[in-house]
């Protein structure tokens, strides 16, 4: 039988024995601490990942990952057009990180009803745009008909705009569009659907229709657009995609001599993504604290085990077992406690997180958090990393208190045997 098997065998026998009262209490406390620590870490990380995924998903739904627009444009809704460039579209579409690319156009306007008026941004999309975001956010009616042979004047508005103006599905909505040095334009649309994303700042602003309606209101022809929206198949590759698109813009000049620029969703909503990044710092602090607390209790438990096994340590030393082997024996014993704590901690952590995910039991103030309930998202890699990292750190650092074995003398410890 090898040394490793002997150490493992003895550690297992120690784990199976009842031990003294102090031993049992400390083992339970240590196990409970590890379990609570890993459960808190799993819940916290799943909530933080859920927040980042939900918030960034809403922002991307309104504006994609990257926008290509006119360099001479401004931050208002009266944008300078660019000319469609099919070569540029083909080149961007062929990028490995590109999921889709679609043209869009925007126009600032005012919704006028008998009850109220409200300033909005009318956004025109073309056929083939990614409608999943608005489809999932639809609470009444249908999405506007886009890209059909006959130009439809359907419009999708948010629940906030509908409530503010008193409009409902099927109503005709009058919109005013201010033009420099000209009388305002008037146009009629039909409310085909109402959506709600919970992101009030954008919900109270964005209305969706066919791109041809916006082009007509801007006085553009079918080749003129506000820009392109590009969605990525990997958010982590956003910076790389942005750099690739910028290089393609440089290499593919516009037929009208215009100069294009790119803007990522992170640049457009910098403060929001900075707020999300702050949650990462909170997560790191929480993980460090939980590991330190678990480690402290594990050290206490190990010392109790050592003190209650002083006679056994003396006998094993007198039989020729080295200090290194004895240290390994008690580290293995401690690892059993850690694994048991991780096992129950994962059950509790995942159980509570799954309960929240499926029932949305804990609600949030939508005004402050942009969500109605605490979101949950699991990621296999951080779950594995969290468990593996906690195990390695705690068990690895337990080798230090285990070194107290080298200070024990056989002739002093055997006499304590009962």
The model's pLDDT over 360-376, given as tens digits with 9 standing for 90+, comes to: 888 887 777 777 888 89
Q: Is the pLDDT assigned to residue 285 strictly greater than 50?
A: yes
| Closest CA relative to residue 291, chosen from 103, 6, 34 | 34
Q: Is the pLDDT of residue 244 over 80?
A: yes
Residue 304 has pLDDT above 60, yes or no: yes
Predicted local distance difference test score (pLDDT) of residue 363: 86
Q: Which two tokens stand for residue 184?
A: 């305002």
Give the pLDDT score at 133: 92
Q: How does residue 20 score in pLDDT terms, banded at 50, 70 and 90?
A: low
End-to-end CA distance of the chain, in Å?
29
pLDDT band at 415 (very low <50, low <70, confident <90, very high): low
Q: Can you tell me whether residue 72 is helix, strand or coil?
A: coil
pLDDT computed for residue 90 by the predictor:
93
DSSP for 43-64? HHHHHHHHHHHHHHHHHHHHH-
Among 77-81, 115-119, 268-272, 284-288, the least confident range: 77-81
Give pLDDT tens digits for 166-175: 999 999 999 9
- Alpha carbon 217 to its chain centroid, in Å, reads 38
According to the model, what pLDDT value does residue 27 have?
Answer: 79
Q: What is the mean pLDDT of the chain?
A: 85
The closest of 296, 346, 321, 300 to 11, measured between CA atoms, is 321
Instruction: Measure the CA–CA gap between 129 and 151, rounded to whole angstroms.
Output: 16
The percent of residues above 90 in pLDDT, for the chain, comes to 41
Question: What is the rounded CA–CA span in Å between residue 322 and residue 7?
Answer: 11
User: How far, in Å, are 282, 363, 380 from residue 356 at the CA level?
Assistant: 21, 10, 18
Per-residue model confidence (pLDDT) at position 21: 53
Closest CA to 276 of 12, 14, 47: 47
d(CA 198, CA 309): 60
pLDDT of residue 2: 47
Task: Answer whether residue 350 shows pLDDT above 80.
Answer: yes
Alpha carbons 89 and 131: distance in angstroms, whole number: 19
Q: Indicate the domain borders of the chain.
A: 3-58+272-416, 72-258
Give the mean model confidence (pLDDT) for residues 183-187. Answer: 84
With contact defined as beta carbons under 8 Å apart, do 173 and 167 qualify? yes
pLDDT higher than threshold 70 for residue 3: no
pLDDT in tens, 310-346: 677 677 777 777 777 777 887 888 888 889 999 999 9
258 or 203: which leads in pLDDT: 203
Nearest Cα neighbor of 295 from 161, 377, 400 is 400
Q: CA 362 to CA 341: how far, in whole Å?
A: 26
* 185 close to 179: Cβ distance less than 8 angstroms: yes
DSSP 177-233: EEETTEEEEEEEEEEEEEE--S-HHHHTTEEEEEHHHHHHHHT--TTEESEEEEEES
pLDDT of residue 364: 82
Q: Taking a C-beta distance cutoff of 8 angstroms, is the pair 173, 158 a contact? A: no
> What percent of the residues of the chain are helix, what percent strand, and what percent coil, each to the nearest 5?
55, 20, 25
Higher-scoring residue by pLDDT: 230, 328: 230
Contact 393, 289 (CB under 8 A): no
User: pLDDT at residue 261 above 50?
Assistant: yes
What does the pLDDT look like over 142-182, one tens digit per residue?
999 998 888 999 999 999 999 999 999 999 999 998 877 67
Structure tokens at 90: 């083909």
Q: Is 267's pLDDT higher than 80?
A: yes
For the ranges 31-40, 175-184, 357-366, 397-406, the maximum mean pLDDT occurs at 31-40
Q: What is the pLDDT of residues 36-81, one digit of tens each?
A: 989 999 998 899 888 888 888 888 999 899 999 988 765 566 778 8
Considering only residues 261 and 114, tell me which one the structure prediction assigns the higher pLDDT: 261
CB-CB contact of 10 with 317 (8 Å): no
Per-residue pLDDT band at 418 (split at 50, 70, 90) = very low
pLDDT bin (cut points 50, 70, 90) of residue 23 is low
Cβ density class 154-183: b for 16+ within 10 Å, e for less: bbbbbbbbbebbebeeeeebebebeeeeee
Provide the pLDDT for residue 410: 62
Per-residue pLDDT for 1 more than 50? no
- 185: helix, strand or coil: strand
- Token pair of 63 as six digits: 């504006």
């Amino acid at each position: 039988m090898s040394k490793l098997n002997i150490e493992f065998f003895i550690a297992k026998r120690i784990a199976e024995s009842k031990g003294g009262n102090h031993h049992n209490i400390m083992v339970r406390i240590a196990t409970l601490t590890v379990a609570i620590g890993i459960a808190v870490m799993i819940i916290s990380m799943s909530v933080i990942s859920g927040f980042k995924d939900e918030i960034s998903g809403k922002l991307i739904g309104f504006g994609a990952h990257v926008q290509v627009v006119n360099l001479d444009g401004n931050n208002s809704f009266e944008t300078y057009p660019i000319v469609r460039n099919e070569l540029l579209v083909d080149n961007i579409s062929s990028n490995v990180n590109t999921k889709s690319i679609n043209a869009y156009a925007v126009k600032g306007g005012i919704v006028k009803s008998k009850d109220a008026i409200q300033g909005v941004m009318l956004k025109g999309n073309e056929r083939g745009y990614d409608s999943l975001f608005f489809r999932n956010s639809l609470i009444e009616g249908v999405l506007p008909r886009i890209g059909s042979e006959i130009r439809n004047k359907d419009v999708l508005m948010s629940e906030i705009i509908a409530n503010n103006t008193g409009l409902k599905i099927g109503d005709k909505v009058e919109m005013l569009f201010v033009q420099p040095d000209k009388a305002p334009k008037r146009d009629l649309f039909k409310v085909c659907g109402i959506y709600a994303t919970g992101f009030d700042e954008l919900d109270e602003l964005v209305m969706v229709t066919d791109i041809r309606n916006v082009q007509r209101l801007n006085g553009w022809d079918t080749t003129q657009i506000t820009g392109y929206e590009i969605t990525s198949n990997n958010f982590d590759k956003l910076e790389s995609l942005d750099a690739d698109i910028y290089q393609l813009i440089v290499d593919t000049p516009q037929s009208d001599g215009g100069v294009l620029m790119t803007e990522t969703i992170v640049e457009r909503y910098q403060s929001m993504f900075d707020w999300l990044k702050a949650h990462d710092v909170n997560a790191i602090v929480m993980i460090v604290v939980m590991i330190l607390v678990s480690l402290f209790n594990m050290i206490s438990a190990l010392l109790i085990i050592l003190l209650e096994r002083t006679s056994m340590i003396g006998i094993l030393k007198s039989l020729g077992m080295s200090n290194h082997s004895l240290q390994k024996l008690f580290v293995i014993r401690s690892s059993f406690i850690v694994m048991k704590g991780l096992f129950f901690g994962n059950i509790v952590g995942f159980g509570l997180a799954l309960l929240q995910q499926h029932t949305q039991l804990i609600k949030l103030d939508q005004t402050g958090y942009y969500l109605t309930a605490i979101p949950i998202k699991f990621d296999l890699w951080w779950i594995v990393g969290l468990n593996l990292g906690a195990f390695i750190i705690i068990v690895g650092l337990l080798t230090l208190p285990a070194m107290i074995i080298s200070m024990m003398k056989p002739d002093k410890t055997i006499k304590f045997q009962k």
